[in-house]
Chains A and B, each alone.
Chain A
């Protein structure tokens, strides 16, 4: 009996030593922090002394859902996802298609469009803050005034939605290059014979894009979308640097709000509860997307 059991799991037993290092790392760096974070969220935690002051149970979680600032941050994050994902995908796709058509200097364009992607978030955030400076001394205001598009200069960072708009513009500008490169990889995987056949049928360029390129890019499109959606919930640097929540916390996103609650207000327990809520939300979102993505792959196969 014992012997047969050992025999049955022989393969597994042999692999075990190889799995162990990875499993231990996972335990230390992923599972332990998650468990500790959850433990902290049940109390008024003192980060300095690393101990619970008072056990508060689910109070912090109740507070999350009543917190107006949290909902503002949630809406800003959702708006960021809703507004920035499609434009950067669309522009990225168009650029990829153009560059894929063996035009002169396509290599150069590929590099130029990719430069924003590898530039530091911190630096471009600072540059954007200066570009969108209030008053007519800000470059963007100056240009808009010169072009007679606006009559008085805009105080970009003084209003919730204009400040958000700057955050979005930066995200799209910085994201296009990555979209383009991934789409380009997808395009190069499409067999040229489809296009040749379409040529014979007399299809024009729009028709070729509409009926060959886009359907065949479906798996890539889903891949990009998942990445951008999950990425949207990780937006932090540009908000922290450009607005830091101003005016009145109305441009705060989930991560920057969590950071403020934890490291400016020292409300470690509450910020842990916030991060649990956000973590669960992202988990559900990613799972939903995964289902969707699998579906996309299946449909994309010809």
Chain B
């Protein structure tokens, strides 16, 4: 009898809980938005102390629950969260991930919202395009960035320079002088992956695909591209390229602090993470101009909504709010470059180095926008690494990679 009562009690409890779960009735513009981001400490502080209060002032009914996620293993976290129905409503993710996740069918199409068409024209076209997949948009650009040349003031001074070399050849001449002393290197791409390698490859005249991103053969394995990789390989054999490229010590930041490297290429976070010491000890400049110009790589983050979100209206309100000039300009204080024309035009009160990043962005190129980018990235990394580890000749490596990438772009 008591057991029966207990069971009945338990059952009705479950029933009530179940009904309560179903009852989430969608009041307009209220609710809780779970927001995942990978802001650095300084960026997060700015977001929490300035942006969120501003938002709550305008929309007191919406609560923002902001969670700072570690970048390591983030993709795996998205899988487990989404399949386990605990995915965030809104997430700030790397621009190269958006087409890939869109292809998996888990992102909300933002071009379906009425307000999208008004927002659209104010974005920089390059930033907006990173959200494009199969004729639709699956996110809004949030912040853009690129990498510029960061020179060690001390090493430059040692070489008798007070400012950064303007051209690639001048820079190489300095690197050759520096080589004479132990454990010093002129330059060091950070890794073989596209993010690390492409600025050097493009600056020296290489190309990955045609302008429509539809084919790699004839571009990645063109004479110019082969010459660009060959030139870098020759610098490596000459001893001008540092071990950071191979993931060895001294790493890029350690080597900059230790005076081992003349320059590295890095994003604005180099300054926002290290702080004032980094600003004081370096000279910032655009990438030294080579045969292909001064070409860096476009990075940045987009804001996406997961299609399992139960607070789509609140989430969309929050996403639009992040696009306002006011918010864009607040976040720019940490060196995050705005994605809207209107915010970029009226940018004031930002660190001096930001100007160099904006300048560099004019010529910076995106990594091949594709839902298969993850695989393309691996093919490219492997091709470059196999050259530097003497497993393939440049021509072989680039021919093979071009064929593989062609298949992935289809």
Contact = CB atoms under 8 A, between A and B. Distances in A.
B76 interface: yes
B75 interface: yes
Given A135-B250, A248-B389, A265-B374, A49 B105 contact: yes
Contacts, number: 57
A49 B249 contact: no
A133 B382 contact: no
A50 B104 CA distance: 11
A97 B243 CA distance: 47
A138 B83 contact: no
B246 interface: yes
Interface of A is mostly: loop
A263 B382 CA distance: 19
Interface in A33-81: 46-50
Given A263-B75, A266-B100, A138 B382 contact: no
A158 interface: yes
B382 A48 contact: no
A228 to B, nearest CB: 29
B248 A48 contact: no
B342 to A, nearest CB: 36
Q: How large is the interface on B (under 10, 10 to 19, 20 to 34, 35 or more residues)?
A: 20 to 34
Contact of B104 (A49, A157, A247, A248): A49
Interface of B is mostly: helix
B386 A138 contact: no
A181 interface: no
Given A248-B385, A263-B79, A158 B105 contact: no
B105 A46 contact: yes
Q: How large is the interface on A (under 10, 10 to 19, 20 to 34, 35 or more residues)?
A: 20 to 34
A226 interface: no
Contact of A137 (B100, B249, B375): B249
Contacts of A46: 104-105
B106 interface: yes
Listed residue (A47, A50, A133, A138) with the most chain B CB atoms within 10 angstroms of its CB: A47
Interface string B364-406: 0000000000110010001001100101000000000000000
B126 interface: no
A138 B249 contact: yes
Nearest to A135: B249
B82 interface: yes
B104 A48 contact: yes
Given A248-B385, A265-B374, A135 B82 contact: no
A193 interface: no
Given A248-B382, A248-B386, A265-B374, A47 B250 contact: no
A263 B76 contact: yes
A289 to B, nearest CB: 33
B249 A133 contact: yes
Contacts of B75: 263-264
Interface string A217-252: 000000000000000000000000000001111000
Contacts of B26: none
Given A248-B389, A266-B104, A48 B82 contact: yes
Interface string B97-110: 00010001110000
Interface of A: 46-50, 133-135, 137-138, 155, 157-158, 246-249, 263-266
Interface of B: 75-76, 79, 82-83, 100, 104-106, 243, 246-250, 374-375, 378, 382, 385-386, 389, 391
10 contacts: A46-B105, A47-B79, A49-B104, A134-B246, A135-B250, A157-B248, A247-B385, A264-B76, A264-B374, A266-B100
